[in-house]
Structure 1
């Protein structure tokens, strides 16, 4: 029997002319440590072969620029960790505005829960588990709409996330009514950076870019 490898149709997607390129494989110029740690003044993650790799326990990173509504493309690869289980297996995450996490985890062949790959962490499970095997490059294409507020500060709509995982819709305008668990920023007003999590596993990222979207009415 022949082995068939399904590749994401958006793998290697080129940024459009109006995109903000956050990582092109060359440097960390668009990023900074999310939290200054003692003795650490710059990003400690690894940079090789056009990808960045989490150096475990050196801290998460965040974009220097802050954003509102965006359409984000990123590619990631989880490591092969056959002896690890649950949340210790290829764990990382991308937080929109540093507040709303789309989980990254080696969930290949699992049920597809809200704390597994493609889940809005502890908010909503993916419509289908599209996680590829570890060591295979995968894609997220995320359309994010920030919460909406009245002039008096009353929130009238939570954050909305539409997520394609490896080209398949897994979150369809899922609403996060507040920042997800362990979000570094628990406020909800104003723009925020794109935050990549160090959860102690050497997850890799590449080809990260976004297009800023005009505000839309709720």
Structure 2
């Protein structure tokens, strides 16, 4: 009797096992991988002349109230504002934002005068400093007429100056408006000044990717090797390099922290 029962159970197990193997696997429920709770906040996108709804407009065509002199941050910027555009006043010095930023997205439009002369670094030179750490220091994306003007590759337009050559030369001709769209991730430092993580930059020039999440080696320098020194949130700076470069439609979207006043 026991032997017959064992045989019966073995037979049942074999049949059950075969039946289980033949049964198609259950299909996953798509609802298990749907996330509904962490819904992104709504941002109204901008256009060629209008900033996104959550952006801080740094220049909307009227005045330079968001900018100050780099040499005297308590004094307003003295560059020229006319017809919805502001232009470097050669010899007046660099200007920087009143607010301090950490990580952000910035949109900026710039134009070299159609009558610009010179060659190499002497034709339509300015710079967008993504974080200013002093009067002439910080992390620079070069602004320069490079449509038909050769210079060293790591100093041409859209380069991270003396560090990263742009992937392509996307320059328009002098006299035409050009755009920079940049994502800046600031460096992080320990309390003792040790670098915890380097800065990173992604940049588009006239809608073309020119810097792809590159690692910045330190502050931009004209001679020598770049290096880091501890700093916190910093202003954005535009350079007076002696050329009458013009700007318009400048806005920024903070991506971490807040845009604070010093």
**SS of 1:72 mapped into structure 2:** strand
**TM-score in terms of structure 2 length:** 0.71
Preserved CA contact (<8 Å) 2:106 2:181: yes
Shift of 1:67: 0.1
Deviation at 1:79, TM superposition (A): 1.4
- List gaps (5 residues or longer) in structure 2: 1-45, 133-137, 223-227, 258-262
Render the CA deviation track for 1:78-112: whole Å, top value 9, x for unaligned.
Answer: 11345401111000000011121000000103567
2:146 corresponds to 1:107 = yes
- Distance change (3 Å), C-alpha of 1:41 and 1:150: closer
**Which structure is higher in RCO with an 8 Å CA cutoff and minimum separation 6?**
1
Give the whole-Å Cα distance in 2 for the aligned partners of 1:175 and 1:55: 33
Distance 1:210 1:28 in 2: 15
Contact 1:179 1:188 in 2 (8 A): no
Secondary structure, counterpart of 1:107 in structure 2:
coil
Equivalenced residue count is 201
Of 244, 251, 254, which residue of structure 2 is paired with 1:202?
A: 244
String of CA shifts for 1:12-33, please: whole Å, max 9, x gaps: 2521111111110101110100
Task: Give a deviation string over 1:144-197, Cα, whole Å, max 9, x none.
Answer: 000123455421321101000000100011111211126xxx744201111000
Structure holding more strand per residue: 1
Q: Give the greater-gyration-radius structure (CA).
A: 2
C-alpha contact 2:64 2:76 (8 A) present in aligned 1: no
Partner of 2:88: 54
Contact in 1 for aligned 2:119/2:149 (Cα 8 Å): no
- Report if aligned partners of 2:194, 2:230 keep a CA contact under 8 Å in 1: no
Contact 1:126 1:171 in 2 (8 A): yes
2:240 and 2:169 map into 1 onto residues whose CA distance is 23
Contact 2:193-2:229 within 8 A present in 1 as well: no
**Matched-pair contact (CA < 8 Å) for 1:81–1:90:** no
Structure that is richer in helix per residue: 2
TM-score (norm 1): 0.85
CA distance in 2, matches of 1:102, 1:67: 17
2:108 match = 74
Map of 1:18 onto structure 2: 54
* 1:77–1:137 CA contact under 8 A, matched in 2: yes
Distance 2:178 2:119 in 1: 20
* Greater shift in the superposed pair: 142-151 or 16-25: 142-151
Q: Which residue of 140, 157, 164 maps to 1:124?
A: 164
